[in-house]
Amino acid sequence: MSTRQKALINKVALSAFGFGQKVFLKQDVTVAERRGEFIGELAFRIMGSRRKKTIANLQMAFPEWSGAQCHDIARKVFRHFGLITADFMRTPLRTNQELLDNMEIVGFEHFETAEAVGKGVIACTAHMGNWERFGHWVTASGRQISVVARDANQGEIQDRVSKLRDLTGITVLSRGDSARPILSKLRKKEIIGILPDQNSDESFSPFFGKPAGTVLGPAVLHQRTGAVLLPSYCVRIGPGKYRIVLKEPVDLENTMESPEAIMAQLNLVLESIIREYPEQWLWLHDRWKSARRLNMF
């Protein structure tokens, strides 16, 4: 891609981001969600390759589903991510109290168990539901959280995204340079949020019955520091309403021998929550790309 093409894409992306903020900042949450769903619907119709990949992933993960069922869930996936994009754009309007009033918590005892260990918490979440609201819930409840995130391709877009996250008190650590600050924050008994549900070639663990390229970072951090691995998800349950789901810590006693075994367990926990809310996970992403390339299935 030429420099001119990159500049044009950046300009279009910035314009779209700015337009989105203006539109959604004028709406209450219900109206914003409906408009976000409409944008997701348009994306479903226009983005042919992503639509096909989403449907193919669903067919592989749920072989018992009909083609019509996979198509319907794929459409809902696009609408969901349009919706939460609109919700993210509304961040400047959302107070801590509004967030807490519209959030129910399941499994808070697991959060308390993880904190009681006293070595920091690695909240293993995913591109599932509304992970931005999960981070905001942590800060709104009086805790510190730093989230490891990949930088956006457009630097100016990244700046705008970071400014919105700053409003919620979340600290963002760049994935490419996060090791030292993560260790520092865990020593302070803080919370680190990691989304380890993207394709990798570090290791391969079962995910919906197929090998999936899986990062080892969260498991390695857990073994080296003793920080608790806490599967944590935020799912949408209605207009402006969300549920935090906190699962039992993985390898709480830090006795499992291999990082691969730990990440396999985390994959199974994530799979269980996706099966409950299949329309809220990022099926657009090719989670099995590396495994396919190596002819693992």
CA distance 73 to 46: 17
CA distance 227 to 245: 19
pLDDT of residue 187: 95
pLDDT of residue 3: 65
Q: 3-class DSSP state for residue 44?
A: helix
Q: 3-class DSSP state for residue 235?
A: strand
Q: Residue 148 gets which letter from DSSP?
A: E
CA distance 80 to 54: 13
**What is the mean pLDDT for each group of 10 consecutive residues in the chain (297 residues)?**
59 70 82 93 95 98 98 98 94 94 98 97 98 97 90 67 90 84 95 96 96 97 97 97 98 95 98 98 96 94
Contact 190, 118 (CB under 8 A): no
Angle at 269 between CA 265 and CA 272, to 5 degrees: 140
